[in-house]
């Protein structure tokens, strides 16, 4: 037993032999420190860069362009949409400005078709669209429901909210638009009170996705969370259990598990598969101000207009190198809805303190409380769905 405990403590396996035995995870062999070191340094050789042209597009670079003011926007009003969570409902919870609602995405060498909710319902009649992922996927799911509802206000509908699955049905057309909460895509099991993130297992979640006609996946933000925001206690890899691993390496392993599941279980002739790129955050004003602003805020709070032009000074999310690599190596690659760069320009689109879930104390302290991760509705996710609509039908 002393030798066994020594082996465990020499790696990143469970922190103590007692916990190891308590959880019932005793293994007959252990991962060598060389394997752990390889995982830890797996991404050191990568060079993170901004892709200039989306490979999915041959005639139009949908995801490279500028934001232009358009008085025809927004497509819907918050008061007319039945599903917007308080977290995203900025106008209801006191946001005083509205210019951020008046911007349309214009690709450099084409125009996007105008979103038509009735056309969406007719083309998708009898079918299911499912968004799978974290709260950014929920942001897009609610946006799409609002956009369709604005075009078909008389259509009978039904909303069933649950966890992990919520579904909104347009009953007259037999169309279901669902959200399945799976922030890591791969499975999480609870064993002896501990949350185990299973980097190589996805079947528990995947069973709920098989029957959808259109699947849109996203993941990213939860992989970097630490402390109280971390959604797991241990990671499982190759039958071994770790308190932590290099987060980019873990993301890559989880995405490979997802990609293998899609390749093995989804018939690409029947089901369209999308992957939404990493949604950026705006917590550091230096990323867009270049020292020219007179604002005293530190983050997205108080921002009322997009970054002008086509480039963003801030860092491009390094997770996107992982996403690009995994998606491109799929047997039937998912369509990459590459919203990262165009969203980086929208520093004005976040709830900041106008989040209905915030307390008065949080609203009074934007430097520490502002939500610069999610997006207001109406708002930027509507543009994601215009691109989704274009990729799906045109």
* Euclidean distance between CA atoms 26 and 48, whole angstroms: 39
Q: In what order do the strands lie in the sheet with 175-181?
A: 157-160, 165-170, 175-181, 128-133, 214-217, 272-276, 335-337
* Euclidean distance between CA atoms 288 and 344, whole angstroms: 9
Contact between residue 229 and residue 134 where contact means Cβ atoms under 8 Å apart: no
Catalytic residue, chosen from 279, 373, 374, 383, is: 374
Strand boundaries in 60-193, DSSP class E: 65-69, 103-107, 128-133, 157-160, 165-170, 175-181, 188-191
Catalytic residue, chosen from 134, 246, 338, 371, is: 371
Give helix 247-265 / helix 319-328 axis angle, nearest 10°: 30
CB atoms within 10 A of CB 293: 13
* Euclidean distance between CA atoms 223 and 352, whole angstroms: 22
* Euclidean distance between CA atoms 297 and 288, whole angstroms: 13
Collapsing DSSP states into helix, strand and coil, what is residue 65?
strand
User: Would you call 49 a catalytic residue per the annotation?
Assistant: no
User: Would you call 135 a catalytic residue per the annotation?
Assistant: yes
**How many degrees, rounded to 5, is the angle at CA 18 between CA 17 and CA 22?**
115
Place of tokens 């499975």: 187
* Euclidean distance between CA atoms 325 and 46, whole angstroms: 11
User: Would you call 371 a catalytic residue per the annotation?
Assistant: yes
At 331, give phi and psi (nearest 5°).
-65, -45
Task: List the catalytic residues.
Answer: 135, 371, 374
């Amino acid at each position: 037993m002393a030798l066994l405990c020594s082996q465990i403590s020499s790696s990143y396996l469970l922190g103590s032999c007692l916990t190891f035995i308590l959880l019932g995870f005793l293994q007959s062999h252990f991962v060598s420190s060389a394997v752990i070191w390889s995982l830890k340094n797996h991404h050191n050789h990568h060079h993170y860069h901004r892709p200039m042209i989306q490979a999915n597009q041959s005639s139009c670079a949908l995801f490279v362009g500028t934001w232009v003011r358009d008085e025809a926007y927004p497509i819907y009003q918050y008061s007319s949409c039945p599903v917007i969570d308080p977290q995203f409902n900025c106008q209801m919870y006191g946001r005083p400005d509205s210019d951020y609602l008046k911007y349309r995405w214009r690709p450099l060498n084409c125009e996007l078709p105008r979103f038509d909710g009735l056309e969406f319902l007719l083309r998708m009649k009898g079918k299911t669209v499912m968004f799978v992922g974290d709260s950014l996927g929920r942001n897009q799911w609610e946006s799409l429901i609002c956009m369709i509802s604005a075009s078909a206000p008389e259509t009978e509908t039904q909303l069933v909210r649950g966890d992990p699955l919520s579904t909104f049905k347009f009953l007259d057309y037999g169309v279901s638009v669902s959200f399945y909460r799976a922030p890591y895509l791969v499975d999480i099991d609870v064993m002896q009170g501990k949350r185990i993130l299973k980097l190589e297992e996805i079947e528990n979640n995947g069973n709920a996705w098989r029957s959808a006609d259109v699947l849109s996946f996203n993941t990213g933000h939860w992989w970097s969370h630490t402390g109280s925001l971390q959604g797991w206690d241990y990671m499982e890899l190759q039958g071994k259990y770790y308190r932590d691993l290099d987060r980019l390496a873990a993301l890559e392993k989880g995405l490979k598990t997802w990609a293998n599941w899609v390749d093995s279980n989804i018939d690409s002739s029947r089901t369209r598969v999308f992957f939404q790129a990493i949604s950026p955050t705006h917590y550091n004003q230096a990323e867009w101000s270049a020292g020219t602003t007179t604002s005293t805020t530190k983050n997205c709070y108080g921002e009322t207009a997009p970054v002008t032009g086509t480039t963003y000074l801030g860092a491009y999310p390094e997770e996107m190198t992982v996403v690009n690599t995994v998606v491109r190596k799929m047997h039937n690659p998912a369509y990459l809805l590459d919203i990262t760069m165009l969203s980086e320009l929208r520093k004005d689109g976040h709830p900041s303190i106008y989040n209905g879930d915030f307390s008065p104390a949080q609203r009074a302290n934007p430097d520490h409380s502002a939500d610069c991760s999610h997006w207001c509705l109406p708002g930027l996710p509507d543009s994601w769905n215009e691109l989704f609509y274009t990729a799906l039908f045109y």
